Structure 1
């Protein structure tokens, strides 16, 4: 039985007398009946585990990043499987959704990513920040000192805007140099917001009209956009836009102080800076085969931050076997890090129109490791912002569900 066969079942089956996952998550918390199906030796539990009304999240999450999950996903597991003060970890932290949500819920947070850009996106939101300090720091930038170093970027920016971006890059290099252990927190925040405002489709971004806002097209593609629209990039007030976005991010407040976050840069299968058996819960989502090219998507963000994307060893797994082997290496490291009785929630998405069921590969990768394989939670959604944004009809293309492989450390 395939995944779509499971979703198309109309008659819910009763739970077995004792399923492993039923002892951890109380399904009576949810509307309707959670369906239980078994396929290829795997227990599936299917429901809308967070409703549309529960999708409202803390404003500090609202920065764009390709292929990130909603904050409600880690919140679901953090609330049920951890207590305040516990350590929550994400080995593929991306923009830091798991870490930020853990901190909001008064848990300690740790994360890892192969791309140093991830720490720049996550770290500033895990520390208290004041809007007045941000405004004061922006006033200290000498915006007239910027010199254009790359003429090709004029495809995205008005000349005055690009010069101001260069002035900001120079200012950040002094205040929060890349690789600094303790950069100035306000400069760190300003860089994070600036990275998030580099390109987009509205006047709230530094660029002329460009799509989508969570990745940068190539210079050639942007020139084609400009020609098709008959528009040149308009001049933007960088400081005003950073301050406006900062105000929006902070409208619900900042995260509470729950100890210094442990942020690591390196492969997900080798995190030596994190102590063995220290993690209560892992909530993560790895790259999905060859669906997303993170290096190509983030080239402009890397330019602004001073990161050489060619030096970032991001894997693109073209085969299921190679992807499975990567997941096994990661799970072996998680077996070292997760305390006995701790849990792993390993989210996988739909790829190749649902023909590839990655949860089966994760299940296979965990075989023989010191984990109980509890089942797969399927959060079934009837509406997705992504699919509608791209004009994709639900149920045929796009992502309509989250599938989370649940493991418990023996």
Structure 2
């Protein structure tokens, strides 16, 4: 029989505020489904590291851990199998002054011609003139290939779809790209057709909001030394052994989010082909398969952490075959199966608070359904 799992101390409370948008404005430049709040990495970065140390996120997503590390004067390692996630993280951690954004946009001939073809389904979301301006913007960004162009692309991605006049699209979901057939139903139900929404003023408004909290020079100074990689989190090429002081991450949950379908408009704008990486992503509804993946992942965390380094894995509780599964316990079991000699569990922190508007969009109610708590398994390398 396998050895019983060690008893891991659990602490429950509200470790950061439930209030929205309390951190640096750059954190909120893009909505990203299944992303944790910046208060989470902020709590652990302050608790376990000092200025100048290295913080890593092997599933960097929208770059929350990496950006907060740079804001707090730490260097960062960012990885994801998705090129969109790595691009997003790099763009957010390399902001540019508002004056440079304005200069770039002023150099675009918004009445010019563009020969690029596009999927006809885009007209479910955009007025033809708005779409024409987006194509002109895509062309200018692609031709420039500069940090300014990349940051402008980030601003554009943030405005591609949403529920208010500040977005380029007709009314739709802001957190993910609705499939064309679903958008057709939304348009029919709301009796709406895309209206012309000029791209330029919306980009300028978003730039002002994203850069409102400043610290551009500091963030860029720290991010110059960041490491950005795109590979399987079980084999982190480019991450040297015993090089990282703290890892704060959240692996993909059990088949909760389809990251490929949810970002198809972003992939279109950035010319990302999901077929080049989709098969490599961890998207499974099988608990045993997920646990086996995590066992290999934990072996890699043991390799890259410095002695004394800490790994914080955010996981929730999920409904699996009509039973509630605490994924931190699944990860703890994976740690035992992995045979890690030096990576040991310290505690589980359970964050309980009222859910946000975004959670309610996906029928997640407070502490009773779906992925509805945040459970942080804290490990340390001895």
* TM-score, normalised relative to structure 1: 0.85
SS at match of 2:311: strand
State which of 13, 16, 26 in structure 2 corresponds to 1:47: 13
Q: Which residue of 2 aligns with 1:27?
A: none
Instruction: State the shift of 1:53 in Å.
Output: 5.8
Instruction: State the shift of 1:397 in Å.
Output: 2.3
Q: Which residue of 2 aligns with 1:290?
A: 255
CA distance in structure 2 between the partners assigned to 1:54 and 1:233 by the alignment: 30
State which of 381, 385, 410 in structure 1 corresponds to 2:357: 385
SS at match of 1:356: strand
Q: Which residue of 1 aligns with 2:158?
A: 196
Q: Which residue of 2 aligns with 1:4?
A: none
- 1:355 pairs with 2:324: yes
Q: Which residue of 2 aligns with 1:235?
A: 196
Q: Which residue of 1 aligns with 2:180?
A: 219
- CA separation of 1:226/1:187 partners in 2, compared to 1, >3 Å: closer, same or farther? same
CA distance in structure 1 between the partners assigned to 2:21 and 2:171 by the alignment: 28
CA distance in structure 1 between the partners assigned to 2:331 and 2:364 by the alignment: 27
- CA separation of 1:390/1:325 partners in 2, compared to 1, >3 Å: closer, same or farther? closer
SS at match of 1:201: coil
Q: Which residue of 2 aligns with 1:57?
A: 23
Q: Retained in 1: the 8 A contact 2:367–2:373?
A: no
SS at match of 2:212: coil
Q: Which residue of 1 aligns with 2:214?
A: 253
SS at match of 1:42: coil
Alignment of 1:8-407 (within 5 A): 41-52=7-18, 56-62=22-28, 63-143=30-110, 144-147=112-115, 148-176=117-145, 184-211=146-173, 213-255=174-216, 256=218, 257-258=221-222, 259-312=224-277, 313-352=280-319, 355-367=324-336, 368-369=339-340, 370-390=342-362, 392-407=364-379
CA distance in structure 2 between the partners assigned to 1:67 and 1:287 by the alignment: 8
**1:209-264 Cα shifts (integer Å, max 9, x gaps):** 112x1211111111111111111111111121111111101111135122422111
How many matched pairs? 364
CA distance in structure 2 between the partners assigned to 1:85 and 1:292 by the alignment: 34
CA distance in structure 1 between the partners assigned to 2:109 and 2:288 by the alignment: 52
- The structure whose RCO (Cα within 8 Å, separation 6+) is larger is 2
CA distance in structure 2 between the partners assigned to 1:120 and 1:352 by the alignment: 32
Question: What is the aligned-residue RMSD (CA, Å)?
Answer: 1.8
Gaps of 5+ in 2: none
SS at match of 2:62: coil
SS at match of 1:194: helix
SS at match of 1:135: helix
Q: Retained in 2: the 8 A contact 1:65–1:95?
A: yes
* TM-score, normalised relative to structure 2: 0.91
Gaps of 5+ in 1: 1-38, 177-183
CA distance in structure 2 between the partners assigned to 1:54 and 1:241 by the alignment: 22
Q: Which residue of 2 aligns with 1:25?
A: none
CA distance in structure 2 between the partners assigned to 1:51 and 1:168 by the alignment: 38
CA distance in structure 1 between the partners assigned to 2:92 and 2:365 by the alignment: 35
